[in-house]
Amino acid sequence: MSNNNTLVLDFEKNIVEIEAKIESLKLLAKDQDVDIAQEVNRLEQKLEKQVKLTYANLTPWQKLQVSRHPQRPHCLDYVHALIEDFTPLCGDRLFGDDEAMIGGIGRFKNISVVVIGQEKGSDLETRMKHNFGMAKPEGYRKAQRLMDMADKFNMPVIAFVDTDGAFPGIDAEARGQAEAIASSIEKCLQIYVPIISIVIGMGGSGGAIAIATANRILMLEHSIYSVISPEGCASILWRSADKVQEATEALKLTAQDLRKFGVIDEIIKEPIGGAHRDPKTTIEKVGDSILKHLKELLPLSGDELKKQRTAKFLAMGRNLPEN
């Protein structure tokens, strides 16, 4: 279920110990021609039970760790697997291109779509290239340009959200980061085509909502969506990094919390052990969910889509559960 290059999370130690025993037995059998099939089968059953038990009872802090796992599928993994004939479109026609924000056109299940998403990268080189998924103003203005194009040519928008937040650098602020995010949110509310946003990992603050002001907001089971990072929250409220776990609990940032509050529309189940253990199945499940919601939205008129989107966000926070 894992390999030597997989990052081990602290709560997965029991799982890793069983996996190591299985690998050792397999190597022993290979070297000494010993029949260990029965013992391997017993350990594999034990492993499956341990993974199920561990991931059925994750705390918000543990879910945060899973959402940040570097082996989770990223935006480009979904694009390459789900979007046929994807053609990247670059630049905001004002300043330049931002590779933290992926954008382009393609076909999803034979439906022409515009795709937008934050790409974090999968190794040091690509993470630097994509600025760890933290977009600058030109990234959000590129997203606006693509949403305008989607509106003009009547193409649904699919947005993959995965960012710790918008880039907070001085150069980004000088080019109008706050205005770019606000204008992107406004653009989401203005267009007359369906928008479906999927939080696939981290949904951080305004940097996420700038492309998640959608008709349908979906979240993977172990992804998170929050107004601020737990680290940032702890530093502001408690002025201490030691309070990160308490901040994670207080922020109510899990998919389960947000579904209860009416912020999101669906939780997409991840494979047992998290998306990082089975990216292919995860991507397939996300594709199935997108198709289901597209089929519900495509028959609606532009005015209906716009009104539904606006009403959805105006209703948030008005009827919160007591607990």
What are the phi and psi torsion angles at 236 (to 5°)?
A: -85, -50
**Residue 223 CB contacts under 8 Å (≥ 6 apart), including other chains:** 67, 199, 200, 201, 202, 203, 255
Q: What is the Cα–Cα distance from 208 to 226, expressed in whole angstroms?
A: 9
Lowest mean pLDDT among 55-59, 115-119, 190-194, 212-216: 55-59
**pLDDT > 90? residue 231:** no
pLDDT of residue 35: 64
**pLDDT > 60? residue 3:** no
Q: What is the Cα–Cα distance from 188 to 193, expressed in whole angstroms?
A: 10
The band of 160, judged by pLDDT with boundaries at 50, 70 and 90, is very high
The band of 30, judged by pLDDT with boundaries at 50, 70 and 90, is low
Mapping DSSP to helix (H, G, I), strand (E, B) and coil, where does residue 168 land?
coil
Q: What is the Cα–Cα distance from 119 to 100, expressed in whole angstroms?
A: 5
Domains of the chain by residue range: 10-57, 65-315
The band of 32, judged by pLDDT with boundaries at 50, 70 and 90, is low
pLDDT of residue 166: 92
**pLDDT > 50? residue 4:** no
Residue 268 pairs with which residues in a beta bridge? 220
Mapping DSSP to helix (H, G, I), strand (E, B) and coil, where does residue 291 land?
helix
Q: What is the Cα–Cα distance from 30 to 245, expressed in whole angstroms?
A: 44
**pLDDT > 90? residue 323:** no
**Residue 45 CB contacts under 8 Å (≥ 6 apart), including other chains:** none
- Pick from 183, 182, 140, 146: nearest CA to 161: 140
Strand 111-118 relative to strand 101-108, pairing? antiparallel
pLDDT of residue 63: 92
pLDDT of residue 33: 60
pLDDT of residue 194: 97
Strand 84-88 relative to strand 101-108, pairing? antiparallel
pLDDT of residue 41: 79
**pLDDT > 90? residue 264:** yes
- Pick from 259, 260, 174, 274: nearest CA to 219: 259
Please check whether residue 194 is in contact with residue 173, taking contact to mean a CB–CB distance below 8 angstroms: no
Please check whether residue 113 is in contact with residue 106, taking contact to mean a CB–CB distance below 8 angstroms: yes
**pLDDT > 50? residue 187:** yes
- Tokens encoding 264: 């999101």
Mapping DSSP to helix (H, G, I), strand (E, B) and coil, where does residue 133 land?
helix
pLDDT of residue 242: 86
What is the reported pTM? 0.89
pLDDT of residue 205: 87
- The pLDDT tens digits of the residues spanning 50-109 come to 788 888 888 999 999 999 999 999 999 999 999 999 999 999 898 999 999 999 999 999
- Tokens encoding 296: 């519900």
Lowest mean pLDDT among 40-54, 93-107, 131-145, 223-237: 40-54
Q: What is the Cα–Cα distance from 248 to 231, expressed in whole angstroms?
A: 8
- Tokens encoding 119: 């790409």
Lowest mean pLDDT among 27-31, 153-157, 218-222: 27-31
pLDDT of residue 8: 73
pLDDT of residue 91: 92
Q: Which helix (H) or strand (E) holds 112?
A: strand 111-118
**pLDDT > 70? residue 322:** no
The band of 29, judged by pLDDT with boundaries at 50, 70 and 90, is low
Q: Specify the higher pLDDT residue, 53 or 284.
A: 284
- Tokens encoding 149: 């194009």
Give the mean pLDDT of the chain: 89
Span 65-315: which CATH code?
3.90.226.10
Distance between start and end Cα atoms, the chain: 37
Q: What is the Cα–Cα distance from 259 to 231, expressed in whole angstroms?
A: 23
Mapping DSSP to helix (H, G, I), strand (E, B) and coil, where does residue 249 land?
helix
- Tokens encoding 108: 């999803």
